[in-house]
Amino acid sequence: MRTMTFILMVGLFVLGSCDKKNDPTPNPAEDEEVSLQINSISLQDWTVGSELKFEESWSLNLQHADGSSPITFLINPNSSPIPERIEVKKGTYRYSFESASAPTFSDYLPVKLAGEFEAETPNQPVNLTGVAKSKGIVIQLDYDSSPPKLAEPQLIDFYSLNSDYYLYYNTADLLKISIPLPESQGFLTQFHLGNTAPLSTRYQVAWPENNDFYENSIKLDENKWPLTLIPTTVSHLEESQNETSGLAWIAGNLFSINDGENTNEIHQIDPFSGEVVRSIEVANATNVDWEDLAQSSTHLFIGDFGNNMGNRKDLSIYKVLISDLLNQDAVQAEKISFNYPNQTDFSPNNMNHEFDCEAMVFQNDKLHLFTKNWVSESTDHYVLPSEKGNYTAEFLENLPLTGLLTAADLDPVSGQLILMGFRRLGSNPLEQWLWFYRGLSETHVQGEVRKTKIGIIPHRGFPEGIAFWEKGNIWISSERFVLEGVYNIPPQIGIVGLEGLF
């Protein structure tokens, strides 16, 4: 009888313990409300440090981890911190929001947000993260001005936000932006390629400025002339164009050549893809060292006058009919042979002489040559007839550029002369430069020289070709630049905006 009583007592104790363990006890902490404070909105890969402009309101969706129905809160994303406080119960939440559309151009940045957070403390800070659905351009002007304008493909004023101007876009097109010059009717032209640009880009225009150190900004001197400009890379060229050397814009097409020890071909290039559209053989020509192109209304001229060693006695220029160039895959050329009147020493002297040449323009039945003077870093200006024959070039003048000249072109509308080259010496070597003259007469360049820095070789490659495009803007080409283990810059085509400066 005692044994049965003991078993009964143990059973009752166990039953009592089980009942006590399974008895639900309310936990007030689970029903505690949390006040959410949205402190920031971060967008992946958005690098420009300026205030963003979003839509006026967002419907932010919150989903509790317990699977309960999602809740939506209306917030103003343009305040920091966001003033609306959201009351929720404690727990893990996922949030989401997506702008309904991404307009081609807009004054707000469409976004897509998604993430997770823990609501734990009575005043819970929350940082939202997501991605931008458009790209943005910010323009900072260090002077009072009317707003910059998008000039193409649509005409739109940039929007003002604090001290900056901005525009959001969702297009791969080439954008042309007009930026007012200070206290002037003139303007700067900045090109911007939508499909290759980063998510966010800032252009700064500083005035007045006397420092031409290139740091990806536009600097204006006291006379409002740009000491620096920002080229826009449009495409990388095919490997076959690693040594692109000269450019010509003819009948809406861009033509290029490669320099020495390459094929005797003229290449039609699609500047926006970098692809070779077709190659035209100059059947009766040899490419010893082709360096530049020039054009008349009827002919294209190919300068085979590259002369690094200074020992060439076969300097020549080939003359090709433009009608043949546009319609045939193989053309014949007339040949213009020449020599320099002041060269008497033809012994090899690599890059240590004054008889190399990479720049040429055509005007009034004459060919004007501008040498690449390795010793003085100036250029000698010579002139030749443009008809086939054998000539001694006529020396006209020396221009003290302080740089090595690699290309030249004349604006067919204004007659303005532009020279392009680089500096290899000085405190900032390997800088890319443009030199501007008002025009060109039969005997000399016209006007005072003005110069503008357009970059550095380690960023853009060696500057080699230049061609006027439309409205005074220019195409430029750069050949491949390799420094083993440090740089490997592919050949490329770019645009420099000059419209509005003259």
**CATH 2.115.10.20 residue ranges for the chain:** 232-496
pTM for the whole structure:
0.90
Q: What pLDDT, on a 0 to 100 scale, did the predictor assign at position 30?
A: 55
Q: What pLDDT, on a 0 to 100 scale, did the predictor assign at position 398?
A: 98
Residues of the chain with confidence (pLDDT) below 70: 1-31, 425-427
* CA-closest candidate to residue 99, choices 137, 131, 51: 131
- H/E stretch holding 210: none
Q: What pLDDT, on a 0 to 100 scale, did the predictor assign at position 486?
A: 87
**β-strand pairing of 379-385 with 394-399:** antiparallel
* CA-closest candidate to residue 256, choices 496, 477, 408, 494: 477
Judged by DSSP in three states, 308 sits in coil
Torsion angle, alpha carbons of 124, 130, 134, 140, to 10: 50
- Amino acid sitting at position 247: L
Q: What pLDDT, on a 0 to 100 scale, did the predictor assign at position 31?
A: 62
**CATH 2.60.40.1120 residue ranges for the chain:** 31-132
Backbone torsions φ then ψ of 240, nearest 5 degrees: -65, -15
Sheet architecture: strand order including 123-132: 71-75, 58-64, 91-98, 111-119, 123-132, 33-43, 85-89
pLDDT in tens, 328-368: 999 999 999 999 999 999 999 999 999 999 999 999 999 99
Domain 135-228 has what CATH class? mainly beta
Q: What pLDDT, on a 0 to 100 scale, did the predictor assign at position 216?
A: 81
31-132 to CATH, choices 2.60.40.1120, 3.40.50.300, 3.40.50.620, 3.40.50.1100? 2.60.40.1120
The b-or-e profile of 130-143 (16+ CB within 10 A means b, else e) is bebbbbbbbbebbe
Q: Which CATH superfamily is domain 232-496 in?
A: Glycosyl hydrolase domain; family 43 (2.115.10.20)
